[in-house]
Amino acid sequence: MTKNKNFIKYFKQYEVSHIIAMIKNGGKDPLTCSVRFENKLVVISGTTSGIGKFTAMKYASMGADLLCINRNEEKTIEQKKEIESKYDVKYDYLIADLSKLKDIHTAADQLSKMERPIDVIIHNAGLTLSKQQLTEEGFDFVFVVNYLSSFIFNYKLMEKLKNQPSARIVMNNSEGHRFVPWGISLDDLHWKKSRYTGLKAYGSAKLAQLLSMHIFKDKFAGSNVTINSMHPGAVESDTGKDNGRLYKWYKRNVLEKMLRPTDIAAEALYYLGVSENLEGISGKFFSLTTEEIPSPPAWDIDEARKLWDVSLNLSNLNEY
């Protein structure tokens, strides 16, 4: 099916009320949770800056032990020293480049073999690029970091998590999934046929993550494992730091003047990971902590099933 046909199919499903709700939700503050998380283990990716950094600090301040997955070991060690000394919690880490399938698989395997239960997993690592970059495997860089890495982790951790008393997975997603109103192009996930733009590539990756959420929800049925996604709001972050000069100028002089403090996203991620109000809630998309209806392409279960098979193949997971 072509993009035009897909757009027509999805266009009929759009409702003005959902768009209005999205706009209103963007100005809301997140709900907060005061329950401490003592002796629990939280796995977070991308914690040396931005939302991930504030989220790691938030969970540590509430007594949780951390296992952080980062690319930069020097910054990670600095963060480990700071958090352990300030909050008297345990900070472990894995060094992995989430654009490299080998690193992703190695880190996921290490987590799956841990004896200690993982109480919360937060997929935070992500980026946007104004110009396309390809990974070592020839895949689109944005697609791998924003989507395929979380897919591999979730897939490889399924059995471990289902055998635990409970677990929550929270994916730091984005309203940017709406940038591709025609849906994802399963035959061109790496933009080799279509013209690449940063917004489309980012939107496609975030849309793929939402689609995978529905399948994972079904896979976790009957267990106490939940999976949800969250738009962090228009907050200060390092997103776009790898883009060109024009984008950096635009972000510094325009975008950043409209951004909200980063800690509201951390508060939301804590609420979604800990609050009793989210007990048993799965397969939902939140704007911070307000449940929201994502775009019609994000609810296409047939496309989600097709993407699942493609993702297994791209990730070399067919043998599992």
Q: What is the pLDDT of residue 255?
A: 45
* 301: nearest Cα among 183, 144, 161, 142: 183
Q: Six-digit token pair at 143? A: 């697609």
CB of 47 within 8 A of CB of 21?
no
**pTM for the model:** 0.91
**Which amino acid makes up residue 239?**
T
**Residue 143 burial by Cβ neighbours in a 10 Å radius (0-12, 13-18, 19+):** buried
Q: What is the pLDDT of residue 236?
A: 53
Domains and CATH numbers, the chain: 38-314 (3.40.50.720)
Q: What is the pLDDT of residue 234?
A: 66
Q: What is the pLDDT of residue 258?
A: 46
Q: What is the pLDDT of residue 239?
A: 54
CB of 117 within 8 A of CB of 164?
yes
Q: What is the pLDDT of residue 245?
A: 56
Question: What sign does the dihedral 198-202-204-205 (CA atoms) show?
Answer: positive
Q: What is the pLDDT of residue 25?
A: 84
Q: What is the pLDDT of residue 27?
A: 82
Low-confidence residues in the chain, pLDDT < 50 = 1, 246-251, 253-258, 320
**Residue 258 burial by Cβ neighbours in a 10 Å radius (0-12, 13-18, 19+):** exposed
